[in-house]
Structure 1
Amino acid sequence: MAPSIIGSLLETLPLRDQSPAVQAVAIAVVLPVLAILVNVASQLLLPKDPSLPPVVFHYVPIIGSAVSYGMDPYRFFFENRQRYGDVFTFVLLGRKITVALGAKGSNLIFNGKLSQVCAEDAYTHLTTPVFGKEVVYDVPNHVFMEQKKFVKVGLSTDNFKVYVGQITDEVSNFIAIDPAFRAFQEPREPNASSSVDIFKAMCEITILTASRTLQGREVRANLDKSFAQLYHDLDSGFTPINFVIPNLPLPNNFKRDRAQKQMSDFYRGIIEKRRKEGGEHDEHDMIAALMEQTYKNGRSISDIEIAHMMIALLMAGQHTSSATGSWAMLRLASKPAIIQALYEEQQKVYGDGQGGFRPMDYETQKTQVPLLDAVVRETLRLHPPIHSIMRKVLSPLPVPQALAAPVADRKANDSASYVIPSGHYVMAAPGVSQVDPQIWKDPSEFDPYRWLKGGDNASATEEAEGENDKVDYGWGMVSSGANSPYLPFGAGRHRCIGEQFAYLQLGTIISNFVRRFDWKLDGSFPEPDYTSMVVLPKASSIRLTSRE
């Protein structure tokens, strides 16, 4: 039918006497217009399958809602939630993505059966070229769960106790030598002030502190320009286009592949050297922990697996922590009174009685600085690093009745239910619940005090988290449910294993800045940039003033 329609349409155009070039241009205009008309007509006129979630209306086929979703995912989610309810489908560059919002939607996706939803099929084409083979999403789920258990061994309390001092040393050294902080270096004037790109600084501080702690002495010693370039080239593979259309012959992908091999060889060299040296080493890094691990079937973890797990830790943790640290510093810059309250908390807990501070320690950081903890929590509520989390549907996925009906029709239409077909992708967006005005008082307001005793939402989130069952997926007991409106680290088998390290790293970095500086925004508060895989600030300039 389509060719005959096109032919009839072209017959009506006065093109017979035109040059081939003119005819080609005319056809190039007609065909897209016709495709749009057919796409619109099919959405408006064809009968809809009541068992399928409603589809977001879109004009352009294949592209679908890619532009509106990509520009501002949260606006896209909230607007379509208002139209269609918590469950709806949209077209993203040829893929059908079914979104499930709210706590019940997150629970549907995070705790979907392995026979129904698959994270590996959703992400391996993006992560495997960067992390490398034989780890994370390049292995069956049960193997990945064992690998997470290996990593958890390295995230021990004994190691964390060492990490606090190491992170402090790295922050101090960075401030002492980085050109952006020249105004605060010797010789300096009292109450020196300077404008700093805090996102750039946080990127560097995060990789320095992670390499000093998790990555090990050899990585930290080699963290020079050549390693930085390798990291940059490998990082270029983490782009949205590679999620949708993997392995395009692009310069960035060529650089990614070369960097992956070189970085893999670098880590394997460290491991081989340590094995040859033998004996006991007083190392508190992840390489040392992984070298001692064995799978349930008795197989020792291979050097290439260790190397690629170390790359995965470096890449995944770097993005999320540097973004969260930047947002925390920017949010505090917009609330000078909270910076002062944090300083007073440091004085109360760590004051040495002579106007200075004693060194930070892990137990104190974990239990005795509640406002600092609340600042990190509140930053993650407003700025979860990942706005969308996907799974591929392997077998038809029923949607619970309470979740399926549009919001306005839930009471009147209790029997409503959908089935998400195989081949679709499902998407969770926990950040929607984290700023939902039906859950949070003044949801767009940065208010760390809401997390402290007597706060508006602390008890509600703790109660929801407490309702979840604990399950061991192979790497330790974790909450299985997603009934909390606050899930910045996900839930279920794929919950982020680096949660406690993230709190430690971010809290220690912020504490060091609070002790040294006061700061404020250098301009207006920045808008979020959704064009990368992690949500970043579009601008990140703050003005620091020395406390000395």
Structure 2
Amino acid sequence: MIILTTLNNMGIPVEGWHILAGLAILAVITEIYVIGSQLLARRNKTLAPMAFYWIPWVGSSIPYGIDPYEFFEDCRNRYGDVFSFYMLGRVMTVSLGTKGHEFVFNSKLADVSAEEAYTHLTTPVFGTGVIYDCPNSRLMEQKKFCKGALTRDAFRSYVPKIVEEVTNFFAVNFEGKTGKADVMTTQPQMTIFTASRCLLGDEIRSKLNGDFAKLYSDLDNGFTPINFVFPNLPLPSYRKRDLAQQKIRDTYMSVIQRRRMEKDVQDRDLIDALLKNHTYKDGKRMTPQEIAHLLIGVLMGGQHTSASTSAWMLLRLGLDPAIQDELYQEQVDILGEADGSFRQPTYEDILTMTKLQNTIKETLRLHMPIHSIFRQVMRDLPVPGTSFVVPKGHFVMASPGYSQQAERYFPNAKKFDPRRWMTPTEKMAESETDAEAGETVDYGFGAISKGVSSPYLPFGGGRHRCIGEQFANCQLTTLMSCYIQNFKWTVPEGSKLPAVDTTSMITLPVHPSYIVWSKRERN
């Protein structure tokens, strides 16, 4: 009676009280079920320990989404290197460290599937019939088709194109002697301009202005956590994503069809390479639409890595002028002329920029573009060295980005120190040789190292290792060489390193993130 009187005084009628009581009972029953099911699951010693959670379906999504590495570290301290967590209706079994890399990246194709894990996210962005929207054997052949645009001869032709694009960008966007730039505006633009010029040619690059460039931004917005869980919703961002995909695809297809009709197929770019070589081993050919979709996938995949890495590198160097000075002296030593100017670099030149290469390597160590890599389990999968079995339908997850920030592999791991790569420790040295030593395997696109036991794997490993690794290195080294030759920069006074944008599936700095630049005075 006291409760009823109180509720009536609050203006809540008896009928409303019954609804509230029902909801409260439902909440209690739900929590009892959630907690009870977790306690029962812990009695099953074949399952990896589950990180405790309170909210059904959501599980541990919030702490994982806020800071995945901190979440992993907390779980590792509680449960060890192998544990599970519940994320948006999915059970993710994490295996940390180098053993985790071996487990996830080198599991048999019959046991785990990247296609089942990622297709609902990538297919609306890239398009049908390519990347993860096709059998793995097809993807391996698609990688092979692309290799013609990723050779040393191709890289030699790319370096002057990147220099020209970056120089033109500076002329328009860095006017005057000093200024302020948002790296989350400049770096995605510079990356897409240089990558499209090199990989897709002058014809496509000429269209990347104004409204057409905005389409790439709309398409890029398809890579967010909500898109991973709900690939199709009646939201404005989804409509923009789909419209952008259609317009970019149609533009690529018009170029493909024109070159075919006019028999204008040479050796200029990736479009020519795919027009020459797009027949699978079974005799089936990629359609013009699938070629267009693959072009979108290649460009978008590389865009994330280079945009993120160059943005973080500018911010890191803005906090450390001494390293900037060392990098500038390296540019003088390699490219400097007697009159104080710099000659145009060659591909061979950028390979000798050891300090700059080490700075890129250190940036990738602390800011791996993708923090978690996972596969869907296709049949019950034992975890080597444990009594755990991951059930069919669950997911396995590795995190090289976590290992790259772990003290057990990298002393003083949180410090940005490119010099560490000059005299790597024994465990770090493994990462230097892992890609070159040991057994190799050819998944259809060329021999690569089968070993993935290194703690440093910024481009992944195994059959899904990024084939654009060498292009990214060429692009980043050339782009940053131009920055170092032309500017000094800092972060705004009182600023510190920006936080990671948790709304993105890529480890980008929050937008905006500024540097304050001044042009270098030439002798």
TM range (shorter): over 0.9
Moved more, 290-299 or 120-129: 290-299
2:306 equivalent among 314, 321, 324: 321
Q: Within 2, Cα distance between the matches of 1:43 and 1:305?
A: 45
Q: Which residue of 2 aligns with 1:477?
A: 447
Q: Which residue of 2 aligns with 1:186?
A: none
2:419 equivalent among 442, 445, 449: 449
1:342 aligned to 2:327?
Answer: yes
1:381 equivalent among 344, 365, 374: 365
Moved more, 44-53 or 223-232: 44-53
Q: Residue by residue, what CA displacement relative to the aligned partner does 1:436-479 show, whole Å, maximum 9, x if unpaired? A: 10111110111111112466765242244555421000110011
Q: Which residue of 2 aligns with 1:6?
A: none
How many residue pairs match? The answer is 511
Moved more, 374-383 or 149-158: 149-158
Q: Which residue of 2 aligns with 1:499?
A: 469
Q: Which residue of 1 aligns with 2:515?
A: 542
Does the 8 Å contact 1:441/1:456 carry over to 2? Answer: no
Which amino acid is the alignment partner of residue 521 of structure 1? V
Q: Which residue of 2 aligns with 1:516?
A: 486
Q: State the 1:379 CA deviation.
A: 0.4
Q: Within 2, Cα distance between the matches of 1:295 and 1:535?
A: 35
Q: Within 2, Cα distance between the matches of 1:275 and 1:47?
A: 61
Q: State the 1:507 CA deviation.
A: 0.6
Q: Within 2, Cα distance between the matches of 1:511 and 1:35?
A: 58
Moved more, 232-241 or 460-469: 460-469
1:275 aligned to 2:260?
Answer: yes
Which amino acid is the alignment partner of residue 111 of structure 2? Q
SS state at 1:173 partner: helix
Q: State the 1:38 CA deviation.
A: 2.8
1:428 aligned to 2:398?
Answer: yes
Q: Within 1, Cα distance between the matches of 2:506 and 2:61?
A: 17
Q: Within 2, Cα distance between the matches of 1:430 and 1:110?
A: 11
- Structure 2 vs 1, CA of residues 473 and 280 (structure 1 numbering), >3 Å: closer, same or farther? closer
1:487 equivalent among 447, 457, 476: 457
Q: Within 2, Cα distance between the matches of 1:260 and 1:529?
A: 24
1:287 aligned to 2:282?
Answer: no
Q: Within 2, Cα distance between the matches of 1:333 and 1:42?
A: 50
Does the 8 Å contact 2:126/2:245 carry over to 1? Answer: yes
Q: Within 2, Cα distance between the matches of 1:146 and 1:494?
A: 12
Q: Within 2, Cα distance between the matches of 1:454 and 1:93?
A: 40
Q: State the 1:279 CA deviation.
A: 4.5
Q: Which residue of 2 aligns with 1:23?
A: 18
Q: State the 1:94 CA deviation.
A: 1.1
Q: Within 2, Cα distance between the matches of 1:291 and 1:99?
A: 41
Q: Within 2, Cα distance between the matches of 1:455 and 1:528?
A: 28
Moved more, 221-230 or 379-388: 221-230
Q: Within 2, Cα distance between the matches of 1:464 and 1:305?
A: 34
- Structure 2 vs 1, CA of residues 47 and 387 (structure 1 numbering), >3 Å: closer, same or farther? closer
1:124 aligned to 2:119?
Answer: yes
Q: Which residue of 2 aligns with 1:459?
A: 429
1:83 aligned to 2:56?
Answer: no
Q: Within 2, Cα distance between the matches of 1:516 and 1:122?
A: 43
Q: Within 2, Cα distance between the matches of 1:382 and 1:434?
A: 7
Moved more, 165-174 or 309-318: 309-318
SS state at 1:153 partner: helix
Q: Within 1, Cα distance between the matches of 2:168 and 2:257?
A: 30
Q: State the 1:527 CA deviation.
A: 1.9
> Identity of aligned pairs, percent?
47
SS state at 2:175 partner: helix
2:355 equivalent among 371, 377, 380: 371
1:398-409 equivalent positions in 2, closer than 5 A: 398-401=382-385, 404=386
Q: Which residue of 1 aligns with 2:210?
A: 225
Q: Which residue of 2 aligns with 1:408?
A: none
Q: Which residue of 1 aligns with 2:51?
A: 56
Which amino acid is the alignment partner of residue 542 of structure 1? I
Aligned CA-pair RMSD: 2.1
Moved more, 37-46 or 262-271: 37-46
Moved more, 257-266 or 107-116: 257-266
Which amino acid is the alignment partner of residue 344 of structure 1? Q
Q: Within 2, Cα distance between the matches of 1:326 and 1:29?
A: 48
Does the 8 Å contact 2:435/2:448 carry over to 1? Answer: no
SS state at 1:356 partner: coil
1:171 equivalent among 155, 161, 166: 166
1:393 aligned to 2:388?
Answer: no
- Structure 2 vs 1, CA of residues 116 and 74 (structure 1 numbering), >3 Å: closer, same or farther? same
Q: Which residue of 2 aligns with 1:4?
A: none
Q: Which residue of 2 aligns with 1:201?
A: 186
Q: Within 1, Cα distance between the matches of 2:130 and 2:468?
A: 16
1:69 equivalent among 64, 70, 74: 64
Q: Which residue of 1 aligns with 2:287?
A: 302
Q: State the 1:284 CA deviation.
A: 2.6
SS state at 1:537 partner: coil
Q: Which residue of 2 aligns with 1:414?
A: none
Does the 8 Å contact 1:450/1:457 carry over to 2? Answer: no
1:105 equivalent among 76, 88, 100: 100
Q: State the 1:380 CA deviation.
A: 0.4
Q: Within 2, Cα distance between the matches of 1:193 and 1:309?
A: 41
SS state at 2:448 partner: strand
1:254-269 equivalent positions in 2, closer than 5 A: 254-269=239-254
Q: Which residue of 2 aligns with 1:528?
A: 500
Which amino acid is the alignment partner of residue 547 of structure 1? R
Q: Within 2, Cα distance between the matches of 1:274 and 1:47?
A: 61
Q: Residue by residue, what CA displacement relative to the aligned partner does 1:122-144 show, whole Å, maximum 9, x if unpaired? A: 00001011100110111100010
Does the 8 Å contact 1:154/1:290 carry over to 2? Answer: no
TM-score normalised by structure 1 residue count: 0.89
Moved more, 158-167 or 44-53: 44-53
Does the 8 Å contact 2:41/2:47 carry over to 1? Answer: no
- Structure 2 vs 1, CA of residues 438 and 400 (structure 1 numbering), >3 Å: closer, same or farther? same
Q: State the 1:263 CA deviation.
A: 1.5
Which amino acid is the alignment partner of residue 326 of structure 2? A
- Structure 2 vs 1, CA of residues 255 and 52 (structure 1 numbering), >3 Å: closer, same or farther? same
Gaps of 5+ in 1: 1-12, 184-191, 405-416
2:157 equivalent among 148, 154, 162: 162
Q: Within 2, Cα distance between the matches of 1:499 and 1:208?
A: 18
SS state at 1:287 partner: helix
